[in-house]
Structures are given as structure tokens and as C-alpha cells.
Amino acid sequence: SIFFWFNPLMYYYKKRIIDNLEFITDDAVMAKISIENLKNELKNYQFQLLSQSLAIQHLPILLFNHSSIKKRIIMLNKKAGNKLQLFKIFLLIPCLCFIFYSCNVDEVASFDENAEYSFYFDKNTSEENLQNRVKIFNHFYKTEVALKITDTKYQNQFLNQFTVSRKFKDQSNFTSGYQATGIAEENISFLVTYREGKIILNSNNSYRIELDNDANRMIISESANKK
């Protein structure tokens, strides 16, 4: 309850409730006045409200240039506009329907068929980071191929060995294709990508390893940038 002492919304709600109660009271009083004397009685009632508010003067802590009596008098002289309110409601309904419809429309994401994803790893890549990159690779090429990097071994906290396996869309099992050792000693790094139906590993020692859907084939070649 202490929280509500410092909550400005509570004071706003309290003020709104008091205003509504005053409006309801004024409406009940006006309902008892006959139509013949409505104009005179309305004026007398407004003067009575004004005299009661001036009889007792309270010094507010904060001045907001706001008068509750002024609002009550304005509401008393305001004519009921039921037709106008109904028109506003009927006008609001199509707008709300349009907003709900526009928010529920499924957005179709465009896909670039020529887009590629590749990832890099070296001796400093941890097991967790390596497997996360493999997961992203598999998600990107999930309709074409799946990749596994297993049998990882670390030497003095550096990646030193791993095995690459692949499974293409027309295959049911993973096939081991390439095993690398001595990565930490030789400071070898790899860039893995998928292109033209092949998993390609480009190493910084200028060798290129290609793995396709033939389980018995692995192509190792020299990169064009080998000195």
C-alpha cells in the first residue's frame, strides 16, 4: 500500500472517480427538475454550486489552474449527444478492425537463393563456439546438407584435432570425410562454406578440402593464393 502513496496514477484515478460521482449527482438532480422550469432551475443550481465552493476556501499545495466547479457547470450546460457518440463508435469499429487485421498478417520473408553462409575457426575456438557455428550453418543449409564436427581434441586449451562429417539431402546417415590433426602446432585456421553442392574447407596453409555427396570421395587441392 505504501507504493500507491507515491504512484501518481492513483491520485489521477481518485480525481476522476470524484469527478464522475459529482457528474452523476448533478445528473440525478437535473432529472428531478421539470421541463417547464428547467432553464431557471438549472441557473439556480449552478449559482448554488458556485456559492458553496466560494464559502470555504482551501489553499492547495499545488495550483494546477483547474476548477472542479467549472467542469461541473460545463457538463450541466452540455447537451447529451447520443447520436454523435454512436456515430463515433461506428466510425471507430472499422479502424480497430483494420488495425487488428494489419497486425495479424503473416509477413513473408524473402530469401536470396544466392546468399551464402560461412564460418571461421582456428585453434583458439572453443568447443561451444564451434558447435554454435555448426548449428547456424546447418540451419542456413537445412534443405541441402548437414554438417558435423566431432572428435575434437584440445591440447593446452587449443583445438588440435577434429573430424568433419556430412549428410546430404538424399542420404540417411552422416559420412566421415576429413580428419585434421596438428592444428595447434601448425596454427592452422579454416573457413567453412557450402557452394555448388560441396562443403568446402579453405585453410590458411593454402589447402582446399571439398566434400560432396559421394561418401568415398574427398578432394584436396592447393588454393589459388598459395605462394
Spatial CB neighbours of 192, under 8 Å, sequence gap ≥ 6: 118, 119, 120, 121, 137, 147, 199, 200, 201
The answer to pTM > 0.95 is no
175: how many CB neighbours lie within 10 A of its CB?
Answer: 17
**Pairing state between β 190-195 and 119-121:** antiparallel
Q: From 191, 196, 179, 190, select the one nearest 144 (Cα to Cα).
A: 196
Provide the residue-wise pLDDT of the chain in tens; the chain has 227 residues: 566 667 777 777 787 787 777 777 777 777 776 666 666 777 777 777 766 666 555 555 444 445 566 776 776 666 655 666 777 777 788 888 877 777 765 655 555 566 788 999 999 999 999 999 999 999 999 888 999 999 999 999 999 999 999 999 888 888 888 888 888 888 889 999 998 889 999 988 778 889 888 877 888 887 654 44
- CA 145 → CA 193, 209, 210, distances in Å? 11, 16, 14
Residues shown for the chain: 227
The CA R_g of the chain, rounded to the nearest whole Å, is 39
